């Protein structure tokens, strides 16, 4: 049994949000291989592609941007967990999220509010509703944050703020829950090959921000989960940048980030 298999071995059941593409889809593909008898439930607006769906994967359609969405699907999700949990542990992966580039409130205020709903509210609500299942036999929570969480980021103002919430909330929750047998991991990838840039307004990721593959991010996350870490920043370059930006005075962080983004031409390429 290798390190990845050992990390996933305790989990018989996985609940995942945003598994239709990108990092979420890569989580599903990895878990299908690593957890022999495990099952996965994906919550997202779109169903994963047919080659991702299998006997092990259940899809529940859920638009996390809509208030009440988690509450509405929870009876079905709870029944599914009761049916499948057995003697194993539950792993919750809060992966859904999106962002947009530009000067606030571009592209519009509803988009910004929806970002908060998906990136923050849905994560908190789903984690809270699943807390009894997580504590019943032990479990774990993996929340996908971002390297944008380490500093205020102009032109990504709302997105970066939501990811700062994810990071800080996850670290605090880890301290509260680890003695109950439920470690919480904040995953902070940098730019990743996924649907993020398309939804943010790009036809393709800008050359300046091409980074890791989703598979590389998922492998690092699973290894950190096996170590019961509370935080993992994927990739050495991302770790270095996160360390440097965290040590800058708060009043310096936003101007430095803004200058870097302007130099890259990202905002212009997004049509802002």
pTM, 2 dp: 0.92
DSSP β-bridge partners for residue 186: 143, 231
CATH number for the domain that contains residue 158: 3.40.50.720
Strands (E), 19-129: 39-44, 57-61, 89-94
Structural domain count of the chain: 1
Domain range for 226 is 3-269
Q: What is the pLDDT of residue 192?
A: 86
Q: Token digits for 176?
A: 């509260």
| Cis? peptide before 262, omega within 30° of 0 | no
pLDDT digit string, tens, across residues 222-267: 999 999 999 999 999 999 999 999 999 999 999 999 998 888 776 6
| Secondary structure letter of residue 1 according to DSSP | -
**Contacts by residues 245-250 (CB-CB < 8 Å, ≥ 24 positions apart):** 245/150, 245/151, 246/150, 246/151, 248/151, 250/152
- Indicate the SS3 state at residue 153: coil
Q: What is the spatial distance between Cα 234 and Cα 224, in angstroms, rounded to a whole number?
A: 10
Q: Output the CA–CA distances (angstroms, integers) from residue 251 to 115, 151, 152, 188, 245, in the order listed.
A: 25, 10, 9, 23, 11
Give pLDDT tens digits for 205-222: 554 455 799 999 999 999
């Amino acid at each position: 049994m290798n390190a990845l298999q050992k990390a996933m071995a305790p989990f018989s059941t996985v609940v995942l949000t945003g598994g239709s593409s990108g990092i979420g889809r890569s989580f599903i593909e990895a878990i299908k291989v690593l957890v022999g008898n495990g099952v996965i439930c994906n919550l997202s607006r779109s169903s994963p592609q047919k080659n991702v769906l299998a006997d092990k994967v259940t899809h529940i359609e859920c638009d996390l941007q809509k208030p009440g969405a988690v509450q509405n699907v929870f009876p079905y999700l709870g029944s599914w967990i009761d049916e499948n949990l057995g003697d194993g542990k539950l792993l919750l992966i809060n992966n859904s999220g999106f962002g947009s580039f530009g000067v606030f409130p571009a592209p519009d205020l509803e988009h910004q509010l929806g970002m908060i709903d998906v990136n923050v509210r849905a994560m908190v609500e789903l984690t809270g509703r699943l807390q009894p299942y997580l504590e019943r036999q032990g479990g774990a929570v993996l929340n996908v944050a971002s390297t944008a969480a380490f500093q205020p980021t102009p032109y990504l103002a709302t997105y970066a703020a939501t990811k700062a919430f994810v990071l800080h909330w996850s670290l605090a929750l880890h301290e509260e829950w680890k003695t109950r047998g439920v470690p919480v991991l904040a995953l902070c990838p940098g730019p990743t090959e996924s649907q993020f840039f398309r939804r943010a307004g790009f036809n393709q990721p800008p050359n300046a921000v091409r980074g890791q593959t989703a598979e590389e991010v998922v492998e690092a996350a699973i290894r950190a989960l096996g170590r019961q870490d509370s935080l993992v920043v994927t990739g050495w370059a991302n770790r270095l940048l996160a360390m440097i930006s965290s040590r800058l005075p708060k009043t310096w962080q936003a101007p430095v980030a803004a200058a870097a983004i302007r130099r890259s031409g990202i905002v212009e390429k997004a049509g802002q």
